[in-house]
Amino acid sequence: MNRWLHLFFALFPLAALAQGGGEDLLMPEQAFRLESAATPAGVRLEWRIAEGYYLYRDKFRFDVKRGDATLGQPILPDGKVIEDEFFGAMEIYRDAVAVDLPVSGDAGDAFSLEVTSQGCADIGVCYPPQKTVLDLTVPAAAAAPARLPLDLGNDDANEFLPPDEAFRPSLHAVGDGVVEARWQIAEGYYLYRDKFQFALLEPPGAVLGDAQLPPGELKEDPLFGEVAVFHDEVVARLPVSMPADADRLRLKVGYQGCAEAGICYPPSTRELTVVVAGSADLGVAAGAGAATAAVAVEDEPVAEQDRLATLLEESPVWAVLAFFVAGLLLAFTPCVFPMIPILSGIIVGQGSQITTRRAFTLSLVYVLAMAFTYTVAGVVAGLAGANIQAALQNPWVLTTFAAVFVALAMSMFGYYDLQIPASWQARLAEISNRQKGGGLIGVAVMGLLSALIVGPCVAPPLAGALIVIGQKGDPVLGGVALFALSMGMGAPLVAMGTLEGKVLPRAGAWMNAVKHVFGVLMLAVALYLLDRVLPGVIIMLLWAALLIVSAIYMGALEPLGKDASGYRKLWKGLGLVFLVYGGLLLVGASGGSNDLFQPLKGMAAASSGPAGSAQQEGLQFRKVKGVEGLEAELQAAAAEGKPVMLDFYADWCISCVELERFTWPDPEVQKSLEGVVLLKADVTANDDKDKALLKEFGLFGPPAILFFGPDGEERRGYRLVGFINAEDFVAHARRAVPDA
């Protein structure tokens, strides 16, 4: 029936609009916004497709209705294949699509172009074919066969290689004050000889001589006539004269090339850095007063997540093992710590009858559910460019699950037993064993929730796997890497859970005491979640209350008897520590502090005068919102000739909070960023502008730190993902922004 409705709405637009409810279904010109722009060889047609709508690839038609212009074969990117309810397997476009249409004729002649397209809405409504007439003129270069710029911003730019893969530049030191710039050119591509450019960026006082290039091969180009080009490889020799005390050389190289299939790339530029190895050859350049120094190349760095993505493609087996080891290391980060009391609470909740085998089974089920969920969420994030975990970090979801952990804690304290209704138990008994709180189904659900809610951290291994999924188009390989990463994170949890099942007391007051301890830990997990929702002062007060009340139950205020055991003394000692620290949190909160680890820090800074206040403030970031806001700031910085650092931050990102607490306040970090424009993109809300900004840079969530040169271009190789300590950051920043 649905198939016939689909056809009905495809054929009768008025019925389709009525079915859509008017307010919910966009008019076709709103759902598919068409824009046109002239190109050197024709016209580019670009559709902006509203969310929840798509266009069919094979429904495009282009016809000249007026004038003598001749149309060539349109160049369309590959679409996404879906199983259409009526038409079967179809290629479609979402979000946006650009079509390059070659046009030939007499330059300047006017003509009318009729453009036909057809699309649908996800709710099951299809529009009839839409026809739009555009009044255009034949471009000056369009009399020749089409040679159109490649849309490098389009992820669907079908079979053509990205420019960095088609043309791979590198530098090599050859001595005698000469460096060689070398390009490896992919088969079926070529570089123009007369498009090479070389500029010296640093150091001051250095002199760059004229580049020496081979003659090249003559080629009859449809746009430029007879030109010299290079296939396979080209080497440019560059004489360099430098001051004797200079220790690095930075060049900007420009080049342009094409594919034999008829697509030309826009001009490309790259910055290449060279480090001086010594001054063995000290010839002085004429009129420069500078010594010629031998140079050695410092390869342009590759960001850690990009190295991992490359490793995953080139050596999948070793890479999967590397991802498992990376997961082991991530298991000891703050993002995974909350999972320890969750799993321990599940095992303790089994009571005194828990066995080692049962504890191992529960732990394994918890970790497998966590790993499966983490993998699926990662694959979806890579393919869709949307982070499911980030989407769940909103106040309602976090508050709900905090309440769940409070309920679990109350159960640990013995106020009630968490158990599903008897009627449900009877039904489940027909399928499997009787389930109750802590059973396999409940444990799997808790593992699922833990993966989605507790630890939404983005680290280099995770980012590397997402690059393979989203940018390289291999969800299977990326998913395997994510699963290995998750199992590495979960391996210590399995070991700890099994050990707890072995050492837990079997009966008596000891068991009750253990359950009470894990009840407190469950409350701590609830506060961990609420920390992303409530103001810092409120969180400090809640932590203070938890510590002080726990201290009282531990007997911190009760006298020790003469015959008190060592255990009793230890218990009271810990209680006193909790009591004192809880009191410090109260004092700090009353003074306006929101730092759990340094509750009196704000008061100390205030008492030390202006210097202390300045130290407390740390780095001063300017907040940016969305792609447009960032572009405006980058243009302003470029006008001043200043480099830029962009910090992606969110309140629910634990690693972001670590950077705020431990890295940015460091004096050496602040010194290393003097002269750098500091920008912060707060993506806590995870709204459309935040998602668009993350997607602009191929990011799936915070934390991420990006560096831009004075020209406003990102230095991709210096990108950081995840937490980095102050010492390592200082060394990294001095390489990333040496001209600050």
Cα 384 from chain centroid (whole Å):
12
Point out the domain boundary residue: 280, 300, 320: 300
Count of residues in the chain: 740
> Tell me: the pLDDT tens digits for 522-551?
888 888 778 777 887 888 899 889 999 988
Return the pLDDT at 351. Answer: 64
Of the candidates 130, 125, 133, 132, the one whose C-alpha atom is nearest the C-alpha of residue 28 is 130
Stretch 225-233: mean pLDDT, rounded?
84
- Residue at 587 is within a domain: yes
Peptide bond preceding 702 in cis form (omega within 30 of 0): no
> Tell me: the pLDDT tens digits for 313-362?
667 777 788 888 887 877 777 677 777 777 777 777 666 667 788 888 88
Q: Are residues 693 and 671 in the same domain?
A: yes
Burial of residue 247, with CB atoms counted within 10 A of its CB: 0-12 exposed, 13-18 middle, 19 or more buried: exposed
Q: CATH no. for residue 53?
A: 2.60.40.1250
Alpha carbon separation from 209 to 21, 66, 200, 564 (Å, rounded): 70, 55, 10, 86
Tokens standing for residue 669 = 């970090």
- Residue at 394 is within a domain: yes
Rounded distance between C-alpha atoms, residue 658 and residue 334, angstroms = 9
Q: Are residues 658 and 714 in the same domain?
A: yes
Rounded distance between C-alpha atoms, residue 522 and residue 418, angstroms = 14
Return the pLDDT at 731. Answer: 87
Judged by average pLDDT, the poorest of 164-168, 266-270, 468-472, 647-651 is 468-472
Neighbours of 397 (CB within 10 A): 15
Q: Are residues 527 and 540 in the same domain?
A: no
Return the pLDDT at 304. Answer: 66
Q: Are residues 368 and 499 in the same domain?
A: yes
Q: Are residues 248 and 375 in the same domain?
A: no
Helix, coil or strand: residue 437: coil
> Tell me: the pLDDT tens digits for 702-726?
888 999 988 888 888 888 888 888 8
Q: Are residues 338 and 477 in the same domain?
A: yes
Instruction: Residue 515: give the domain boundaries.
Output: 307-533
Q: Which has more confidence, 454 or 93?
A: 93
Domains held by the chain: number: 5
Q: Are residues 203 and 105 in the same domain?
A: no
> Tell me: the pLDDT tens digits for 431-449?
434 444 446 777 888 878 7
Alpha helices in 554-680 (DSSP H): 566-590, 601-607, 609-617, 626-640, 654-658, 667-672
Predicted TM-score (pTM) of this structure = 0.52
Stretch 684-691: mean pLDDT, rounded?
83
